[in-house]
Amino acid sequence: MQVSANGLALEVDDRGPPDGVPLLLVMGLGMQLTAWPEELVQLLVARGFRVLRFDNRDAGLSQGFDHLGAPNLAIAGIRFALHLPGRSPYSLADMAADTLGVMDALGLQSAHVCGASMGGMIAQHLAARRPERVRSLTLMMTTSGARALPQPGLRVRQALLSRPANNSREAVVAHLERVLRTIGSPGFPPDRAQMHQRFEAAFDRAWRPAGTARQIAAVIADGDRTRLLGAVRAPTLVLHGRDDPLVPPAAAHDLALKIPGATVEMIPGMGHDLPQELLERFADSIAANAQRS
Per-residue model confidence (pLDDT) at position 88: 85
pLDDT at residue 193 in the model: 95
pLDDT score recorded for residue 182: 96
Contact 62, 10 (CB under 8 A): yes
- pLDDT the model gives residue 162: 87
**Strand (E) or helix (H) holding 156:** helix 154-161
pLDDT for position 176: 96
Residue ranges of the domains in the chain?
2-290
Per DSSP (E only), the strands in the chain are 2-5, 8-15, 21-26, 49-54, 111-116, 134-140, 236-241, 263-267
CATH code 3.30.70.240 for 2-290: no
Q: Are 8 and 63 in contact (CB under 8 A)?
A: yes
**Mean pLDDT in consecutive groups of 10 residues from the start of the chain, 293 residues:** 97 96 97 98 98 98 92 66 71 98 98 98 98 98 96 90 91 96 96 95 96 94 96 98 98 98 98 98 98 93
Coil/strand/helix, residue 113? strand
